[in-house]
Structure formats: structure tokens, C-alpha cells
Amino acid sequence: MATLTIANRFHGPPQSANGGYFSGLVAGLTQQTLRVRLLRPPPLDTELQVKEQPDGSLAVLDGETLIGQAWPATIDLDVPAPPSREEAIEASRRYAGFEWHPFPTCFVCGPHRERGDGLRIFAGRVAGRSLVAAPWTPDPSLDRGDGKVRPEFMWAALDCPGNFAIGQTGRIIVLGEFTAHADRLVHVDEQCTVIGWHLQSSGRKHEVGTAIFDEDGELCGRARALWIEPAASATTAPKR
């Protein structure tokens, strides 16, 4: 039985893990592409047990409480061409989270996180296109020891831009399922671009795609996610 522990640094909401980071840690326990389903907010600074099930899936448990599940999966996703670096920088200036953010200290997209602490990926609308984008230069704290970013940080970077691609400003939406694949790990200090785009919505469920490109425009990672708007979704939350 494997275990994993999520340090407080990697929170999304203040009391639970960033969903993409959590999913990346689970995926790191196997060599397969996984679809990770989040059933409850993953707790911080708590040893979680990961048990393989008879059907080949993984169950993530906090004691007897089921936190998440994961299954082998593939990603069916048509990835749009990335904007230029300049377009991504300009788009990030339109990041909706600067005006209203339910979790402003989120590890990935929180504007209250300092450089070198959070990822600070601020994905805003690209002019003339149906997608959001942001520049991302991974800092040295994400190094896995060989100059490349650890895989779970690729998963984290692919998480939050999908939320902002939905365009539901003023409402809290939570990550329900996440499937990601790293085509190659980017390097620390590499000038990357992250994009997100809306696929479809049905009621309170929203599907999105996200992708990471390197400084040469090569696709390095992609993800497909299901975001869910809780029935009692808040319409007001703390501003930055």
C-alpha cells in the first residue's frame, strides 16, 4: 500500500489540496495515464493511503474516508494552437482572478502567492479567440533534481486555467475529474505558455481542455477536466 502527504504549500482552498496537484501525485504512483475523480477535498499535512482495487483502479483514503479514485484512461482532445508569448502576457493582464477570486492563496492561480511560492498562472482571455492563456516560467523549487519540473507540478499547472476558461465569474466551481498527460517535462526557468478552453457544459457540469507549450511552441502537456458547480454555489467570495 502506497501513501502520500500533501504539504500546506500546495493548497487550493485554504484547508485542502489543489486538485491538479493532488491528481498529479496520485498519477505519479503508476506509469499509466489516469482519470482521477475527487470525491472530497483532499486534506493537508495528512498521510493518505492509496490502495489498488481488484478492477485495477486506485482508491485514496483518509482512514476509512474515500477521498478520491483513479482509473487508467486516455485523453481524446484536439488542442488549439497556442497564442504567441506576447499574446499570452497580454491575456494574463485580463485575468478575472484579479477582480474576484474565491481562493486567492491557491498554489496555482492565487494572486496572493509570492513568486517562488505559488505558480502564479493567471490565465485571461486571448483577444479574438475562445480560450484563456498565461505565461508560466517554472521556478527552481519545482525542480525534480535534473533541471526538469516534477510531473505533479505539470498537472497542477494544467488545472486552474480550465476553471477560468468556463467563464463563470462570480461563482465557485470545483474540480470533479481530471485526466492529464505530460508529453515531456518542461525545464525550470523555461518560458512556457498555458492555455485553457471550454469544451461543453450541461447544467452545473462543465468540461474543459488545457495544455502547456514550451518556448518553441511545442506541446508538452495536456489535460481534460470536469468542473462542477455545487448546487449551493456561493455568488460572493473574498476579493484579493
Summarize pLDDT for 155-213 with one digit per residue, the tens.
999 999 999 999 877 788 999 999 999 999 999 999 999 999 999 999 999 999 999 99
Residue 239 lies in a domain: no
**Is residue 234 very low, low, confident or very high in pLDDT (cuts 50, 70, 90)?**
very low
Domain count, the chain: 2
Where does a domain end: 50, 72, 94? 72
Whether the predicted pLDDT of 31 surpasses 90 = no
Whether the predicted pLDDT of 95 surpasses 70 = yes
Where does a domain end: 72, 99, 128? 72
Whether the predicted pLDDT of 99 surpasses 60 = yes
Please state, rounded to an integer, the average pLDDT across all residues of the chain.
94
Domain holding 52, by residue range, is: 2-72
**Is residue 124 very low, low, confident or very high in pLDDT (cuts 50, 70, 90)?**
very high
Residue 237 lies in a domain: no
| Whether residue 51 is found in the same domain as residue 138 | no
| Residues in CB range of 81: below 8 A, 6 or more apart | none
Residue with the bigger pLDDT between 203 and 238: it is 203
Residue 185 lies in a domain: yes
| Whether residue 67 is found in the same domain as residue 100 | no
Q: List residues bridging with 2 in a β-sheet.
A: 50
Where does a domain end: 18, 49, 72? 72
Sequence-ordered strand ranges (E) for the chain: 2-5, 34-38, 47-52, 58-62, 65-72, 124-125, 132-136, 174-182, 192-202, 205-213, 219-228
| Whether residue 105 is found in the same domain as residue 192 | yes
| Whether residue 122 is found in the same domain as residue 60 | no
| Whether residue 63 is found in the same domain as residue 117 | no
Predicted local distance difference test score (pLDDT) of residue 231? 83
SS3 59: strand
Predicted local distance difference test score (pLDDT) of residue 232? 67
CA gap 68, 50 in Å, rounded = 9
| Whether residue 65 is found in the same domain as residue 105 | no
Other CB atoms within 10 Å distance of the CB of residue 150: 18
Residue 234 lies in a domain: no
Whether the predicted pLDDT of 11 surpasses 80 = yes
**Is residue 30 very low, low, confident or very high in pLDDT (cuts 50, 70, 90)?**
very high
Whether the predicted pLDDT of 240 surpasses 70 = no
CATH code for the domain in which residue 44 is found = 3.10.129.10
**Is residue 233 very low, low, confident or very high in pLDDT (cuts 50, 70, 90)?**
very low
| Whether residue 57 is found in the same domain as residue 124 | no
